[in-house]
Amino acid sequence: MTVYIVSKQGDDRNSGQLKSPFLTINRAAQVAQAGDKVVIHQGTYREWVNPQHAGKSPQQMITYQAAKDERVIIKGSEKVTNWESVGNGIWKHVVSNSAFGSFNPFDFKLNGDWLEQPNGRHAGAVYLDGRALFEAASYDEMANGYPRNDGYEYVTQKKVHNVDPQWTTYRWFAEVNTDETIIFANFHQVNPNQRLTEINVRKYCFYPDQTGINYICVEGFEMAQAATNWAPPTAGQEGMIGVNWSKGWVIRNNNLHDAKCSAISLGSVPMAKQDQNQFARLHDKPGYQYQIETMFHAIQSGWDKQHVGSHVIDHNQIHDCGQAGIIGYLGGIFSRIANNHIYRIGTRYEFGGWEIAALKLHAPIDTVIEHNLIENCSLGIWLDWQAQGTRITKNVLADNLRDLLFEVNHGPFLVDDNLLLSDEAINEFSQGEAFVNNLIAGTSAIQSVLNRTTPYHVPHSTQIKGYACVYGGDDRYFNNLFIRQAKGASVGTHIYNGSLTSMKQFVSQVEQRLPGDVELFETVRQPAYINYNAYFGGATVFNMEETNLIEEKWQTKLALKRVKNQVILTIDLPVDLIQFETPIQETSSLGEVRLAGAKFDNPDGTPIRLNHDFFNKKIDGDTRLAGPFTELKSGHNEQVVFEF
């Protein structure tokens, strides 16, 4: 193993050894081989790290690591000096276009499939003391500097109050001609020549331009200010850091922020430029159809466990990005996303579309999403297409416009032991889910999708078994604690009223409609399996649930608070909950989903038993309390649910 050293006092003509360090990380990335380590000393590195060699296995990775206790920053931006005042708080800076090379983000408009409201926004950005200014549509809008008190979220059409409307008056506008880019910025009373000002110039901070650069570990960095484009599943999906169709990356203990669109890309299959974003460019076929074609292209390009996925993303801070904290179509299979703090994703509302979330994953087959704190985002976790064998467990979601969205999946996937604390907890436009031992304090919505068929798979494989639309149902709700806090909020399982409760009933309903075929199943909703849930404060109940606890008048005091480096849940509970025991759920009790014919089990195919609580404490016996906690008392409780 060779250890290469990078230092701001180094030189790329050096050997990269301890007494002869490189100056740039990218120089080390050209020579590091499997088993090598690159140690980077403190400083700001304004470069694109483009690793050229792969590791060979989890035991022979190439590791890029910030030196212990040293702050190492990789930025997609360059410092700007020599601003010229033009009066009234407006300053201008002129950049020769040759300085940008082949990519000028101020001349590149965000574009792509499902970007429904681009609003003319560019990949470029201007930063004052590390904080991104807002782009203006015109010089006059920039100069006027009116505050924007509210933003609008495209999908929900919700009006969202800006927590700092005064900052929205700090705006920039760029004019690009043949030779120069002229950037105007409204800094108000600030003299930008006396502060740190930056403009982004690079798409990436850490991203291989080749596919198959496997087994790379990236640990301990701060990365920021990359000019990434919109990243739909029908394009290559750019990220500030990305794996580019590879296997076995570890992205750990990093602070990733201020990507124009997405921070981490687990990626879609590589495509030629003319094959990307064809719906947005041609409008000849639905984007849905192009996405199906993309998936088949991926299968032809080695989309399987041997070649793609199995990434680990843990203990990162990911924040202040325009589209996604972590995004990926097909490239995130068999992965683990754990212990990350993700916040302020998609909350500037400069552009809008259908791919915005803290975690936006398509086809996360056998992927585990565990113990993440996701807060203050437009959407928490969005699993879209082919969530099969996926597990969402022990996460905390709060103060998001929506916590969970599941779109056109067929299951099985498991949502257990989570805290869903936002006003909208679950949007479920899928089938074949199991919600077990969660604390759910927000509303739920369900919807069938009969105009799109999506794949399901052979269990624990990327091999396609079949296609189906979403008929609705085939869902399981066991051992959950529903808490209604806001008056008028529709919290609970009543949305399943009218559903059948067994496959025997379902088959009987189909048989009564014979003769026929496909059309019969469009008229019979699949069964719902709902039992052993607790409902507080007026949360509503599925009318066929046999065993439950209802405390309609109990007004649960539920809140999150921060004390130093801890996030603490406070909750007041009645004695009846402590005495309400529910059977521990496991593979055998959850059954098989109807279409895929697959069980709720572990990624390795072994049976699952939900006998560990939110804190991973093992529960002896065959029963546990409803909700994610086991050590509760009547009255006031405080639980430390996340530590920074």
pLDDT at 41: 99
HEC-encoded secondary structure of 19-33: CECECCHHHHHHHCC
Q: How far apart are CA 425 and CA 225, in angstroms?
A: 31
The pLDDT tens digits for 96-113 are: 999 999 999 999 999 999
pLDDT at 39: 99
Q: What sign has the CA pseudo-torsion 569, 622, 475, 232?
A: positive
pLDDT band at 553 (very low <50, low <70, confident <90, very high): confident
The CB-side HSE value for 474 (13 A sphere, CA atoms) comes to 30
pLDDT band at 369 (very low <50, low <70, confident <90, very high): very high
**DSSP 3-state of 510:** helix
Strands 324-329 and 357-362: parallel
pLDDT at 171: 98
Q: What sign has the CA pseudo-torsion 283, 288, 289, 295?
A: positive
Q: How far apart are CA 360 and CA 327, in angstroms?
A: 5
Q: Is 305 a residue whose pLDDT tops 90?
A: yes
pLDDT band at 636 (very low <50, low <70, confident <90, very high): very high
Q: What number is the average pLDDT over the span 107-130?
A: 98
The pLDDT tens digits for 243-282 are: 999 999 999 999 999 999 999 999 999 999 999 999 999 9
Phi-psi region of 23 (alpha: psi -120 to 50; beta: other; left: phi over 0): alpha
pLDDT at 166: 95
Residue 152: partners with Cβ closer than 8 Å, 6 or more residues away: 158, 159, 160, 349, 352
pLDDT at 487: 79
Residues in the chain, total: 644
> How far is CA 30 from each of CA 113, 205, 214, 215, 264, rounded to the nearest angstrom?
34, 15, 15, 15, 22
pLDDT band at 555 (very low <50, low <70, confident <90, very high): confident
pLDDT band at 501 (very low <50, low <70, confident <90, very high): very high
Q: Which of 400, 13, 51 is nearest to 211 (CA)?
A: 51
Phi-psi region of 41 (alpha: psi -120 to 50; beta: other; left: phi over 0): beta
The pLDDT tens digits for 588-635 are: 999 999 999 999 999 999 999 999 999 999 999 999 999 999 999 999
pLDDT at 310: 98
pLDDT band at 326 (very low <50, low <70, confident <90, very high): very high
Structure tokens at 272: 């030629």
The edge-to-edge listing of strands for the beta sheet with 324-329 is 241-242, 262-265, 324-329, 357-362, 381-384, 404-407, 424-429, 443-446
Cis peptide bond upstream of 364, omega within 30:
no
Domain extent listing, the chain: 3-70, 78-200
Residues 85/275, Cβ–Cβ less than 8 Å? no
Q: Is 46 a residue whose pLDDT tops 90?
A: yes
Q: Is 488 a residue whose pLDDT tops 80?
A: no
pLDDT at 224: 99
Residue 521: partners with Cβ closer than 8 Å, 6 or more residues away: 471, 510
pLDDT at 163: 87
CA 295 to chain centre: 20
Which of 6-15, 59-68, 334-343, 510-519 has the least mean pLDDT?
510-519
pLDDT band at 426 (very low <50, low <70, confident <90, very high): very high
> How far is CA 110 from each of CA 115, 329, 507, rounded to the nearest angstrom?
8, 19, 49
Give DSSP secondary structure letters for 573-593: E-HHHHH-EEEPPBHHHH-B-
Q: Is 62 a residue whose pLDDT tops 90?
A: yes
Other C-beta atoms lying within 10 Å of the C-beta of residue 222? 17
Average pLDDT in the chain: 97
Q: Express as a percent the part of the chain with pLDDT over 70.
A: 100
pLDDT band at 91 (very low <50, low <70, confident <90, very high): very high
Q: Which CATH class is domain 78-200?
A: mainly beta
The pair phi, psi for residue 519, each rounded to 5°, is -65, -25
Q: What number is the average pLDDT over the span 174-202?
A: 98
